[in-house]
Amino acid sequence: MRPHKLTTLGLSIVFLMAGAVSVAQTEGSYSSDTGARPPLAAQPDATNPREIDAQAAAPLAAPDSIEIEIEVDAGATTPLPAPASGPAARMFDIGRSALLGKDYSAAFQSLNDAAAMNFAPAQTMLGDMNLNGLGIPVNTDEALKLYHLAAAQGDANAMAAIGILYAEGQGVTQDNKLAVEWLRKAADQQNATAQNYLGLMYQDGRGVDHDAAAAAEWFRGAALQGESHAQDSLGTMFREGRGVERDDIEAAWWFRKSAEQGNPVAQTDLGLMYEEGRGIHQDNNAAVQWFRQAAEQGYALAQYRLGVSYAEGRGVDPDNTEAARWLKSAAKQGLSDAQDYLQSSGL
């Protein structure tokens, strides 16, 4: 199951395809054009993807929890409102700070006051609180009302939220064409979340004709501004040669970009590239390190690959106890490969 992120003003809502929703901090900004596809561009920094080697594989520390929480991220570059210059903006700043500090009561009061002054960013963030039940009961109808009020003022984050809710059928009747309309409006305003999700719509042929090339370009638009799910999706396109010419080196480069942000799917993808020596030096030790990071976040495929590594002594000393532990964790999540391996190996 690959999570897809809905970024709103200073926060992001992670939509799992099963419908669960949680909140985390945002990432990045990038410029797109107004057509069906953002322009293909050079790499986002001076790093040459063809210089990736096993020395760069040292993983980040694993998260303390698999839960996604609101966190302050000083490195986030999602465009935020201009500094407070009026009563509504000042109330918004107070409310946003309270929300990041998980003081939901204070956040609601300040954001509600700012939203009543028709301040679009506050309406969007208050919509987030209603959608996620942050300090208040979940109220999708109220969230949609607030998003529409903000979207009417041109708020791209609200437009992205509406588009994804229509795509997921959450609080509204699912309507892929309407979802695409809202996502495109937001994507045309350089909204990374909308670009990423629009890539998914083109990839799956939902609300638009299936177009792998358009999907890859929208993923690139979001990936260049640091959207981790788009980076992983773009890496997958390069690995499989869908919508772009197959390029394992490019794939590994994008997987690393996403993996370094803690994305368990990308960490697993990068681990597999190391294990197979695709686009990167073959290194079982590095593969195990990346599998472990993702496995500790509860990602079933990574748990399976880590269990197999322990069972077969690849990149780690053989350990049937550890192998069984990780394989059983993956099997409990319904991963058939793990279930089959347990049965065939007798672990």
Token pair belonging to 183:
């996502």
Predicted pLDDT at 85 = 67
Residue 26 token pair? 């945002």
pLDDT of residue 27: 30
Question: Which helix (H) or strand (E) segment is 21 a member of?
Answer: strand 21-24
pLDDT at 121: 96
The model scores a pTM over 0.85? no
Q: Tens digit of pLDDT for each residue in 147-159?
A: 999 999 999 999 9
Q: What is the pLDDT of residue 54?
A: 36
pLDDT digits (tens, 9 = 90+) for 163-173: 999 999 999 99
pLDDT greater at residue 21 or residue 108: 108
From the candidate CATH numbers 3.30.43.10, 1.25.40.10, 3.30.540.10, 1.20.210.10, the one assigned to the domain spanning 4-263:
1.25.40.10
For residue 8, the surrounding DSSP H or E stretch is strand 4-8
17 pLDDT above the threshold of 70: no
The burial of 67, by beta-carbon neighbours within 10 Å (0-12 exposed, 13-18 middle, 19 or more buried), is given as exposed
CA–CA gap between residue 26 and residue 289 (Å, rounded): 26
Highest mean pLDDT among 55-69, 84-98, 264-278: 264-278
Amino acid at 193: T
Q: Quick one: average pLDDT of 117-129?
A: 97
More confident residue, 82 or 110: 110
Q: What percent of the chain has pLDDT over 70?
A: 76
Query: Is the pLDDT reported for residue 227 higher than 90?
Result: yes
Task: Give 234-293 pLDDT, tens digit per residue.
Answer: 999 999 999 999 999 999 999 999 999 999 999 999 999 999 999 999 999 999 999 999
What are the helix (H) ranges across the chain? 87-100, 104-116, 120-132, 140-151, 156-168, 176-187, 192-204, 212-223, 228-240, 248-259, 264-276, 284-295, 300-312, 320-332, 336-345
Phi-psi region at 28: left, alpha or beta (left = phi > 0; alpha = psi -120 to 50): left
| pLDDT exceeds cutoff 80 at 146 | yes
DSSP symbol at 225: T
Distant-in-sequence, close-in-space partners of 346: CB < 8 Å, separation ≥ 6: none
CA–CA gap between residue 309 and residue 291 (Å, rounded): 9
The percent of residues in the chain predicted with pLDDT above 90, rounded, is 76
The arithmetic mean of pLDDT across residues 291-313, rounded, is 98
